[in-house]
Amino acid sequence: MRRQRVPPHRSLVVRLLATSLLVAVCAILATTWLAVQSTTQAIQQAQGRSLADDKDIYDTLVGYAASHRDWSGVTAVLAERADTLERRITLMTPERQVIADSAPDGPSLRAARPSATVDPLQVDLGLTGGSARIDPRVLGPYVLTKRESAFTRTLAGQWHDCIRRDSKLGVKVVMGPTGRASVQVTGTDPRDIVSSCEPAELTRPLRSEAEPIEQLEAATRSCMRKAGAPERVAIQLDRTAIPSGDAEFDKQVDACLQKAQLAQLRPYVAPPALLFVTDEAQGTTEPVFNLSRANVIRIVEVTGAVLAATVLVTVLVGRRLVRPLRALTDATRLPADEQARVPVTTRDEIGLLATALNDLAARREQTEALRKSMVSDVAHELRTPLSNIRSWLEAAQDGLAQPDAQLLNLLLDEALLLQHIIDDLRDLAAADAGDLRIHREPHFVADLLEQVVEAHRGAAEAAGVRLATEVVADPETAVDGARLRQLVGNVVANAIRHTPAGGSVTVRCVVVDDQLTIAVSDTGTGIAPADTAKVFDRFWRADDSRTRSTGGSGLGLSIARKLAEAHDGTISVASVLGQGSTFTIRLPIVAPVPQ
């Protein structure tokens, strides 16, 4: 047989190869992305450390400039910070003249970009993180004398005692950078006890503060006058203007006030300087990260090697996977009578498929054997009544038998038996095709069972068998009355046939675990344990000779099982050889639908 070729786009090897290539490409892209992200994160962390170092250095130098009028003593500060941080720190004038350098022998930084400009009157908010342009450590002319500082401390102590006496707030005396004392309060009090206890002397400027505040107010008014704006400006103790309620006017006042403050504080701080923070003995101020041509070529080579290895491994694995699949295909293409078992060479999904195919072949052989046996059984069952009918008719035709009432009764019995077999086969065919319909209607089960018993009472009396019913429960349930009578009738008829004279057959109805249970018990011949599983097979009889002495078509119990399954129930048998059998029918109780 010529092997059919699979189109390349449908080949398992091609699809596996495409999948592996896609996986490899995704893995490479993911690895590249991860490497880039890791490198970027490392650079960002390094830049973050650099920024943290720069911020620390910047804050130190701004503090120095805020408390000194020049940079004459900053060299020692630079040396200490450079040694601690292991960085090179350089200060230059705006004209790029070196003020101080922790590594004077290092490369020149004249062309480098400065890290920041150190000016306590114009701080870098990106480094400080605050909102005030003037560093709070710039005190200028607002430093109190020792006597004035002691005076404010006394007043702050009175303020402290008043708050502690009239409330339970947490409070302590603190000293400001200018030497002015105040109180720090924690907690809240609805009575506003803090402001009511504040001494009036603490709200007014002292002698050391009054003169510079007046100068600041005069400079602000002069600026407002030059701008053509009203000069109604009042400066508070904290060196802020009292708001007027006019947004545009207050904005102009703030601009003039800031300009006046810069002019007033400039003589008290060091001049602006350029700050350079670099690696030790190096002139670069920024990290550099570039992919060289060699690195790009190396990445391409590694990527190509990974792809080549993926293709090679995929082809080898694919061929190994396809080999047992081809064996399975060849086995399924053999004629039905020549199909051999496929060897199971693996334990993976393909091995499971081979096992399933072998099981399928075995079941098909079993089904074919059952089909042949059933055809033989059907032919045998139909041949017997037809042969009898033909024999009697030929005898009557040849004059060997008289066509009287007795002959007609014999022919009618054989025709009824033939009709019974055909009806049973029709019911089984309908059940196998799924066309066995159930028409549920409300019925009391005891009434249906009584009808079955009455219908078979004549046959029981003729066989010398006592037939009785025991109704323990009589529920009303939705069932197909005719089919349920047929189901129980087949079981009762089978029990009567296999019960000798003097025996008994009992039909019992109970409710167990919300299920309707109908048990048909007899004191007959019983069933051998090895034959219990065959009871519901078609055309099976306990006697191997297939005699009709016990009657029946051999299909009654098979039909009974189909009818039980159609009612969503089950039927089972328990038997002891020589003592009798009990067939148990279990059906769910279906509540009748109200009309």
Amino acid, res. 591: A
Of residues 133 and 436, the one with the higher pLDDT is 133
Structure-model confidence comparison of residues 417 and 483, the more confident one: 483
Q: What is the pLDDT of residues 230-263, one digit of tens each?
A: 888 888 888 888 888 888 888 898 899 899 999 9
Q: What is the CA radius of gyration of the chain?
A: 55
- Contact (CB, 8 A) for 473 and 528: no
Instruction: For residue 193, give the amino acid letter.
Output: I
pLDDT above 90 coverage of the chain, percent: 22
With cut-offs at 50, 70 and 90, classify the pLDDT of residue 587. Answer: very high
Is residue 545 predicted with pLDDT exceeding 60? no
| Region for residue 192 given its phi and psi (left: phi exceeds 0; alpha: psi -120 to 50; beta: otherwise) | left
Q: What share of the chain is helix, strand, coil (3-state, %, to 5)?
A: 55, 15, 35
Half-sphere exposure for 445 (CA within 13 Å, toward CB): 31
Whole-number pLDDT of residue 289: 42
The pairing of beta strand 580-588 with beta strand 466-471: unpaired
Say whether pLDDT at 1 is over 50: no
Burial of 572 (0-12, 13-18, 19+ CB in 10 A): middle
Give the separation between CA 128 and CA 135, rounded to whole angstroms: 10
Residue appearing with tokens 């028409």: 439
Q: Is 519 exposed, middle or buried, given 0-12, 13-18 or 19+ CB atoms closer than 10 A? A: middle
Least confident of 155-164, 225-234, 361-370: 361-370
Q: Quick: pLDDT tens for 51-75.
A: 566 788 888 999 999 999 999 999 9
Note the pLDDT tens digit of each residue in 276-327: 888 765 544 444 444 557 666 777 777 777 778 878 877 777 777 777 777 7
Using a 10 angstrom Cβ sphere, with 0-12 exposed, 13-18 middle and 19 or more buried, the burial of residue 116 is buried
Average pLDDT, the chain: 80
DSSP 114: P
pLDDT of residue 552: 53
Q: Can you tell me which residue has the tokens 């065919």?
A: 429
- Which span out of 12-16, 186-190, 515-519 was modeled with the highest average pLDDT? 515-519
CA torsion sign for 124, 128, 131, 137 is negative
CA dihedral 528, 533, 535, 540 (to 10 degrees): -90
**Strand boundaries in 13-107, DSSP class E:** 87-92, 98-101
| CB crowding 282-318: b at 16 or more within 10 Å, else e | ebebeeeeeeeeeeeeeeeeebeeeeeebeeebeeeb
Which residue carries 């000194």 as its tokens? 68
Percentage of the chain beyond pLDDT 70 is 79
> What is residue 501's predicted lDDT score, i.e. its pLDDT?
92
pLDDT of residue 554: 67
Residue 504 has pLDDT above 80, yes or no: yes
Nearest C-alpha neighbor of 523 from the set 492, 506, 499: 499
Measured distance CA(511)–CA(318) in Å, rounded: 61
Residues contacting 88, CB < 8 A, separation 6+: 82, 101, 102, 103, 106, 276, 277, 278, 279, 280, 281, 282
For Cα atoms 348, 353, 358, give the angle at the middle one, nearest 5 degrees. 125
Helices 481-497, 556-566: inter-axial angle, 10-degree rounding: 150
* Lowest mean per-residue pLDDT among 366-375, 398-407, 448-457: 366-375
pLDDT reading at 507 higher than 90: yes
Task: Using the predicted structure, report yes or no on whether residue 510 has a pLDDT greater than 90.
Answer: yes
> What does the alpha-carbon distance between residue 448 and residue 507 come to, in Å, rounded to a whole number?
11
Say what the pLDDT of residue 586 is. Answer: 93
pLDDT of residue 379: 65
C-alpha dist (Å) from residue 166 to 27, 200, 203, 323, 449:
72, 18, 21, 96, 98
- Which among 11-15, 115-119, 124-128, 326-330 has the top mean pLDDT? 115-119
Is 309 or 102 the better-scoring residue by pLDDT? Answer: 102
pLDDT band at 465 (very low <50, low <70, confident <90, very high): very high
- What pLDDT shows up at residue 464? 93
* pLDDT tens digit sequence for 391-430: 778 877 887 777 788 777 777 867 776 776 677 677 666 6
Alpha helices in 333-348 (DSSP H): none
pTM (2 d.p.): 0.43
Considering only CA atoms, which of 169, 160, 161, 175 is closest in space to residue 192? 169
Q: Provide mean pLDDT across the span 476-493.
A: 87
CA 491, CA 484: separation in Å to the nearest integer? Answer: 11
